Amino acid sequence: MVVNTRGTDRQQPGPNVAAPVGPRSEDELGDESNVVDETTALLGPSKVNYGETTFSENQNGDPVTNGAGEEKPLHKTQVLLLCYARVMEPLAFFSIFPYVNQMIQDLGGLEDTDVGFYSGLIESLFSLTQAIVMIFWGRAADRIGRKPVLVFSLFGMALATGLFGFATSISQMILFRCIAGIFAGTIVTLRTMVAEHSTPKTQARAFSWFAFSGNLGLFLGPLMGGALAAPATQYPGVFGGIRFFEDYPYALSTLVVGSLGVTAAITSACFVQETLKKEPAATECNGEELASRRRDTLSTRQLLGSPGVGVVLYVYAHIMTLAFAYTAIIPVFWFTPVPLGGWGFTPLQISLMMGLNGAAQAIWLLLVFPPLQHRIGTKGVIRLCALAYPVFFLGCPVGNVLLRAGSEASINAFWVFAPIMLAVGCGVSMSFTAIQLSLNDISPSPRLLGTLNALALTGVSSLRAFCPALFTSLFALGARTQLAGGYAIWILLLVLASGLSIAARYLPEPHRNQETRNGNGQAR
């Protein structure tokens, strides 16, 4: 890990010189003179560098260090509350997937060939509308506060999700889906608040839990949506004969998901702390504070032009492109017959592999990532994952080669190879959390975190809107034409993954002060 030692040396006062106890001026504590010497107040708060600006307090106005000069521990209750709210966005997004095709068929009376078009449209509109309003939510969170935006958007998304099951036409389905996407600004605010509740020492653990909660929502969404859809048909002993559930067969699913969103909004309103620190009036600011405030009001164009921001945003988009492509392709690949380039799995085998995938990701994110990030740094984790991506992708066609061989030995080798490859390969998921930390580190100011996250998530939402359809279509085309033996899609992904290794080399070093201080305030 690269340690920035600028301004960390302590000058010892002479034997006959007493250290004054008066506070130093703001000019003396500027970026270029962040030095602890004989003029420093003994009880003064420690300083933390964040981008170009130096802060002595966290976003709640509390010192980042305790009385002994040690970093404050992670505020676990606040982070867990934010993680609970984080589950809601993927829950709302993915919960309709199991039944949306049947719902379209019921309401529209369409031909089977037309259902897929409207299904893809409705699924994508959530991400498209989310991308359009993301920067608005980020700017709002930076100006009026994180908590109001979080609570308002949670309530709005919960309401729109709950109403989706009451749609009586395809146009109403589209309308409610768009409204849900408009209110999905929660993710911008949540990422920013988690960053502001953590310190350089605790952010890896905080964002590991944050990423895990997102994966939990992704897992629970389809499960709840499918289990609660058409209850009068699935559970006639309980819901049979109830006219409401016969008239609105998908209302139970959306009402349950919407109700969970309401509970997240209520807990956030009651217990989540505001993390955006109020600024003093302009008349109370000295020259350095006014300069800092000007940095806090950068336009979107100026923010994109800030040092390192463009590179980090590109790497973020590159990582998420690989993630969306793999997530979209892998269920189809597992199901595709072996002669066409897949693994020919049954639905049960696919479920088991997806369960293994989820368990492996949880282990990598919660147990491996925090100590690894502490040892080799955020940039080191991203570069390691970038090197692992091509190997991980290569495992899929290698598995098909083993199955195509058809011998007992090759099939046995496949069943040893496939689970190990999947469990180990899921380590690339650490790049999702690592790139978020890079985004936090590169922010010119904490007050721009909301806007910067909004810019990143605008791109991510746009990618999520078209990547699945694009890559599954390319996979189907390659399988149908047997281009490159049915492996054309994996060749494309190998090229894209190799590009990530190149791009990761240009990631900037973090701006935030990554030092750990001992009780005397000296860098260790």
Last residue of a domain, one of 228, 260, 278: 278
Structure tokens that stand for 299 in this block = 């336009």
Residue 271 sits in the same domain as residue 313: no
Would you say 438 and 382 are in contact if contact means Cβ atoms under 8 Å apart? yes
Structure tokens that stand for 166 in this block = 């009451």
Closest CA to 370 of 281, 430, 454: 430
Which range, of 222-231, 271-280, 383-392, averages the lowest pLDDT? Answer: 271-280
Q: What is the pTM of this model?
A: 0.71
**Amino acid residing at 213:** S
Residue 461 sits in the same domain as residue 385: yes
Q: What is the pLDDT of residue 288?
A: 55
Half-sphere exposure of 113 (CA within 13 A, CB side): 0
Query: What are the backbone angles phi and psi of residue 202, rounded to the nearest 5°?
Result: -105, -5
> 67 to each of 64, 460, 519, how far by Cα in Å?
10, 41, 9
Could you give the 3-state DSSP secondary structure of residue 199? coil
Residue 139 sits in the same domain as residue 272: yes
Residue 171 sits in the same domain as residue 240: yes
> Tokens 């305790």 correspond to what residue?
66
Residue 457 within a domain: yes
> Tokens 């595709």 correspond to what residue?
336
Residue 273 sits in the same domain as residue 312: no
Q: 452-495: per-residue pLDDT in tens?
A: 888 888 888 889 888 888 888 888 888 888 888 889 999 999 99
Half-sphere exposure of 45 (CA within 13 A, CB side): 16
Q: What is the pLDDT of residue 85?
A: 95
Q: What is the mean pLDDT of the chain?
A: 80
C-alpha–C-alpha distance, residues 341 and 333, integer Å? 8
Task: Give the pLDDT band of residue 60 (cuts 50, 70, 90).
Answer: very low
Residue 251 within a domain: yes
Q: What is the pLDDT of residue 1?
A: 41
pLDDT: is 130 or 256 the higher one?
Answer: 256
- Cβ-based neighbours of 122, under 8 Å, separated by 6 or more: 96, 100, 104, 170, 173, 174, 177
Task: Give the pLDDT band of residue 67 (cuts 50, 70, 90).
Answer: very low
Residue 225 sits in the same domain as residue 349: no
* Residue ranges in 426-487 assigned as alpha helix (H): 430-442, 449-481
Residue 381 within a domain: yes
Q: What is the pLDDT of residue 44?
A: 41
Which range, of 284-293, 388-397, 469-478, averages the lowest pLDDT? Answer: 284-293
Residue 222 sits in the same domain as residue 330: no
Domain count, the chain: 2
C-alpha–C-alpha distance, residues 151 and 304, integer Å? 28
Residue 17 within a domain: no
Q: What is the pLDDT of residue 22?
A: 47
Q: 316-330: per-residue pLDDT in tens?
A: 999 999 999 998 888
* Residue ranges in 111-185 assigned as alpha helix (H): 112-144, 146-164, 170-182
Residue 295 within a domain: no
| Residue 202 belongs to domain spanning | 75-278
Closest CA to 87 of 238, 318, 248, 265: 265
Residue 2 within a domain: no
Would you say 159 and 184 are in contact if contact means Cβ atoms under 8 Å apart? no
Residue 326 sits in the same domain as residue 458: yes
Residue 320 sits in the same domain as residue 264: no
Residue 317 sits in the same domain as residue 438: yes
pLDDT mean over 161-183: 93
Q: What is the pLDDT of residue 71?
A: 60
Q: What percent of the chain has pLDDT over 90?
A: 40
CATH code of residue 247: 1.20.1250.20
Which range, of 86-95, 270-279, 281-290, averages the lowest pLDDT? Answer: 281-290
DSSP state of 517: B
Q: What is the pLDDT of residue 113?
A: 62
Q: Does residue 7 register a pLDDT over 70?
A: no
Closest CA to 121 of 100, 91, 146: 100
Residue 254 sits in the same domain as residue 312: no
Burial category of 273 from C-beta neighbours within 10 Å (exposed 0-12, middle 13-18, buried 19 and up):
middle
pLDDT: is 186 or 67 the higher one?
Answer: 186
